[in-house]
Chains A and B, each alone.
Chain A
Amino acid sequence: MFAANVRVLVVDDMQTMRSMLKGQLRTLGLKEFMEAENGEEALKILTAQATKNEPIQLILSDWNMPVMPGIELLKKVKSNANFKDVPFVMITAEGEVHQVKEAITAGVSNYIVKPFSADTLAEKLANVAKKLGGG
């Protein structure tokens, strides 16, 4: 699993979902969170945190959001030399095959279809951490 001090950016236009995710992440031992309501806001936070030398180390993002959807955020993150190595997990109600394929092609680290249990989140994040060599 990720270390407790990993800085997580939770991106979802629904406040309830952001709160639920943060609660589940806390039970997994994570402590540092930042929140964004859409992709555009997320990019600003990513840039600001990098400037402060306190970079975001894990992104959990919804797909369907106003202003900038999660898939566009994913593509922008993966095409930016400063952020491309930040693990990006898509958490979305969009689970159709072509959408999963689009996210995989864009470089998503893992994909969680809503509704999901806390166990599923833990398992998927553990897989991402394992791929990174222990987070």
Chain B
Amino acid sequence: MSISIKNNPKYLQLICDSKSVTEADAKEAIMALKDIEEWRPLTVLDFSTADVAELAAFRTLTRILGTAAQNESTVAVVAKKPVRQIISENGLERLLPCYGSMDELVDQSGGGDPKKKALEFLNTTLEAVAKTIEVTLSVKVKAGKPSISTVKGMPEVDIGSVVGLIGTAFSGTLIMAYPQQTYLKIMSKMLGETFTSVSPAIRDGAAEILNMVLGQAKMSLNEKGYGIKQAIPTVVQGKDISIFSASNQPSVIVPFECELGMFFVELATTRQAAG
């Protein structure tokens, strides 16, 4: 097998030119990565010329995950279907996400159409909102029609939480905000006792919910190479809470409805110029 490395601003591509991937090849690939001085947010193990592979090769390759993580890089594999099947059938796909081609990988990891990426970013975040509320409170939530906010903020909200999103493909700001009645019902259900005012005992609940949303979204997005870092949300209280973007980017507001009432999610994103 011959190994060559392509260094792109967004990813490091280790091209392993061979018809079959063996454990010895995997060890050779690991040795090649040891010499890397400047890591990228994404490390691609490109086995696209191989038709077959030994399972042991990919078990060995999981050893690079720790080094990659230390260098803030996620790892992905590009390979033909039979090789991808070996990875997925043996439960390694979560550790080594697979793609059929570099084009497919780049398209799904921050290098594709910016509008499509922004939509993916938004949808993943909204899915994380729904999952967090549904799992934590055992209630179904329904997202309403999104709207664009340029001047006016979210109507009739009293408390919320805000967090900065810092990533390699996108950065932005995320707010979850609630009318007081919704928030009190959510906290009452979450803690199993009735609250009639937003006391200090429940104020940080808004931040905890957003923390869980961010964690969920981060897991999904980082598997696709977004490189989102964890940040600590802050609680905000007051009428007409809204994002005031320094870049004057409009934000998207999505209303959510559940049996405990309505709440709102506002997301403003800015694409990173250097990826």
- Please give the residue numbers on chain A whose beta carbons come within 8 Å of chain B beta carbons, in ascending order: 14-17, 19-20, 23, 64, 66, 92-98, 101, 113-117
Contacts and interface: CB of A to CB of B under 8 A. Distances in A.
Interface stretch (B23-31, B113-121, B207-215): B207-215
Given A115-B131, A117-B135, 4 more contacts: A14-B208, A95-B215, A101-B65, A115-B212
Interface in B220-238: 222, 230, 232
Interface stretch (B3-11, B149-157, B165-173, B197-205): B197-205
B191 A16 contact: yes
Chain B interface, >50% SS class: helix
Contacts of B131: 115
Contacts of A64: 211, 230, 232
B219 A14 contact: no
B181 interface: no
B69 interface: yes
Contacts, number: 72
23 contacts: A14-B205, A14-B207, A14-B211, A16-B187, A16-B190, A16-B202, A16-B203, A16-B204, A19-B201, A23-B191, A23-B193, A93-B212, A93-B215, A93-B216, A93-B218, A94-B215, A95-B216, A98-B66, A98-B69, A113-B215, A115-B132, A116-B135, A117-B136
B66 A101 contact: yes
Given A16-B187, A16-B204, A94-B230, A114 B65 contact: no
